[in-house]
Amino acid sequence: MAKKFYITTPIYYVNDVPHVGHAYTTLAADVIARYCRQKLSKENVFFLTGTDEHGANVAQAAAKHGKTPKEYADEVSPRFQEAWKLLDIEPDYFIRTTDPRHKKIAQEVLQKIYDKGYIYSGDYEGWYCIGCEKFLTESDLIDGKCPLHPTREPVYQKEKNYFLKLKELSQQVLKRIEQGEYHILPEKRHNEIVTRVKQGVEDISISRAGVSWGIPVPWDKTQTIYVWVEALFNYYTATQFIEGKQKFWPPNLHLMAKDILWFHSVIWQALLIAAGLELPKTIFAHGFFTIDGQKMSKSLGNVISPEQLVNTYGVDGTRYLLLSAYQFGSDGDLSLAKFTERYNADLANGLGNLIARTAKVSSGVTLSKHLNITFENVSTDEYKKALEQYRFQDALAFIWEKIKFADKLVDDNEPWKLKGKDLEEFIQRVIPHIQEIATLLLPFLPQTAEKILEQFKGPTIVSQPALFPRIQ
Ligand SMILES: [Zn+2]
């Protein structure tokens, strides 16, 4: 593992409010960041998230609410920050693209690309989906409509734009992928991207003439930088304008859902190559999920908010259920009925019950030996490997095997029948297992892990209220 670790999530669009999809990506990033902080220390990790606040979409949403785009962004952006706080997600910085410091550096980078001759002026003509904020090709359209935004008519646009020489740059991108300079994960996604680049890539427009809510193109103030391009720059601008973060460039890991992988694995890399900047190390695209077998959508009314989950399962319950639902990287289903079932089985009965019964038999006994459990001496290769390959489900399964083992230790020894020295000996034997479990849980269930470590640090152990009360 590298000596420093820079991890990002996409910056989320403020025309939407936080839902479980945003939470899923950001939570995964938080677990990796927490794991890296344990391994590399806090100052060697930089976890960045934020909000994307420009573009016609935001301007339209603001107008609908009778606000200026900036007022609207100022209102929605904190909702993301609050959602992350609620889920105990701790980014090191929350970037907003309306920050003037972001604007200045984004313009400088674009100017550099222009000066190097990778940008030219041309006419753009085609169907534009405001929902996606992008031009769609004929093959993208289904019955003349954007498949993602069937209720929003695509608009036929013809305008002067600036274009990035993506066709030429994509060959350099391909070379860098093939040389292993940066990695696209999972493997399946790597193959998809490589195939698509080999099929041929067209130049893309990177500015807009008709969108005033954006960052002006530095050499032509009649145009604004295409919001997608400008948003990608955030990963770089943050490291430049936040004091002491320059050393974190390039990112070790960009995390995202698979729908925006193309932007991150090809367009973003092309921009960086054009600007002469180092490339990110790894790009990981996780899958989509359905809610009880159905696509999550406003019209179906099945959009789940982080608050809803936290109100039912608690903060750590939500963190556990989201990351153990299916393997990170694949598509999967989130079923609330199964969530409740697994909450009761794994958290109320499994972890919660082990802690409660161990504390009960230990209460009042004074520990004689001092225990020294640290993250480094308990996190075995199997656990580390799972986390470093972003297999959260496997890392959790590894911890739950240890919970089962400790449970069996309690069952087999029937400590409630023991007294005096025998009881003390048993407690000295079982508590290191509890401490190990709690230590391994730190990146996943930080509050619970801290509570358990505090409860069992000795010298005397006291029973506490149930960690995960059963849900009926
Ligand atoms: Zn669309």
Q: pLDDT tens for residues 52-92?
A: 999 999 999 999 999 999 999 999 999 999 999 999 999 99
What is the pLDDT, as a whole number, of residue 202? 92
Sequence-separated (6 or more) residues with CB below 8 Å from residue 13: 51, 52, 55, 57, 58
* Catalytic one of 4, 19, 160, 183: 19
DSSP class per residue in 338-365: HHHHHIIIIIIIIIIHHHHHHHHHHBTP
Omega before 186 within 30 of 0, i.e. cis: yes
Mean pLDDT of the region 154-161: 89
Distance, CA of 235 to CA of 255 (rounded, Å):
12
132 part of the active site: yes
How many Å lie between the centroid of ligand 1 and the Cα of residue 138? 13
DSSP-derived pairing of the beta strands 93-96 and 45-52: parallel
What is the pLDDT, as a whole number, of residue 308? 94
Contact 264, 254 (CB under 8 A): yes
19 part of the active site: yes
The mean pLDDT value of the chain amounts to 94
What is the pLDDT, as a whole number, of residue 365? 81
Omega before 78 within 30 of 0, i.e. cis: no
Residue carrying the six token digits 């390039």: 250
Residue 93 host element (H or E): strand 93-96
How many Å lie between the centroid of ligand 1 and the Cα of residue 203? 20
Residue carrying the six token digits 């013809």: 158
For domain 5-287, the CATH class is: alpha beta
| This prediction's pTM | 0.94
How many Å lie between the centroid of ligand 1 and the Cα of residue 26? 23
* Catalytic one of 64, 175, 295, 408: 295
264 part of the active site: no
- pLDDT of 197 > 80? The answer is yes
Residue carrying the six token digits 């190559």: 273
DSSP-derived pairing of the beta strands 155-164 and 204-205: antiparallel
How many Å lie between the centroid of ligand 1 and the Cα of residue 242? 34
Q: Which of 168-172, 214-218, 427-431 has the lowest mean pLDDT?
A: 427-431
What is the pLDDT, as a whole number, of residue 99? 98
How many Å lie between the centroid of ligand 1 and the Cα of residue 60? 15
Mean pLDDT of the region 447-468: 93
How many Å lie between the centroid of ligand 1 and the Cα of residue 129? 5
Q: Where do runs of H (alpha helix) occur along 414-460?
A: 420-441, 446-455
How many Å lie between the centroid of ligand 1 and the Cα of residue 37? 38
How many Å lie between the centroid of ligand 1 and the Cα of residue 13? 14
What is the pLDDT, as a whole number, of residue 364? 81
129 part of the active site: yes
Mean pLDDT of the region 15-27: 94
pLDDT per position as a tens digit, 56-67: 999 999 999 999
* Catalytic one of 36, 102, 132, 286: 132
Residue 179 DSSP one-character state: T
What is the pLDDT, as a whole number, of residue 1? 65
Pick the CATH number of 306-455 from 3.40.50.300, 1.10.730.10, 3.30.40.10, 1.10.3720.10: 1.10.730.10
User: In the chain, pLDDT over 90 holds for what percent of residues?
Assistant: 83
- pLDDT of 368 > 80? The answer is no
Domain boundaries, the chain: 5-287, 306-455
* Catalytic one of 22, 134, 264, 433: 22
Binned at pLDDT 50, 70 and 90, residue 379 comes out as: confident
pLDDT per position as a tens digit, 129-152: 888 888 888 888 888 899 889 888
- pLDDT of 374 > 90? The answer is no
What is the pLDDT, as a whole number, of residue 12? 97
* Phi, psi angle pair for 211, to nearest 5°: -110, 110
How many Å lie between the centroid of ligand 1 and the Cα of residue 246? 36
Contact 409, 48 (CB under 8 A): no
pLDDT per position as a tens digit, 226-242: 999 999 999 999 999 99
112 part of the active site: no
Question: Helix-strand-coil percent breakdown of the chain, rounded to 5?
Answer: 50, 20, 30
* Catalytic one of 4, 67, 149, 165: 149
- pLDDT of 370 > 70? The answer is no
User: In the chain, pLDDT over 70 holds for what percent of residues?
Assistant: 99
* Catalytic one of 54, 134, 146, 402: 146
Mean pLDDT of the region 199-212: 92
Q: How far is CA 28 from the centre of its chain?
A: 5
Mean pLDDT of the region 456-461: 87
Omega before 459 within 30 of 0, i.e. cis: yes
Distance, CA of 174 to CA of 410 (rounded, Å):
56
Residues shown for the chain? 472
Helices (H) and strands (E) in the chain, counts: 18, 16
DSSP class per residue in 247-285: GGPSPSEEEEEGGGHHIIIIIHHHHHHHHT-PPPSEEEE
Mean pLDDT of the region 376-395: 93
What is the pLDDT, as a whole number, of residue 152? 87
Contact 266, 173 (CB under 8 A): yes
Mean pLDDT of the region 257-268: 97
How many Å lie between the centroid of ligand 1 and the Cα of residue 443? 36
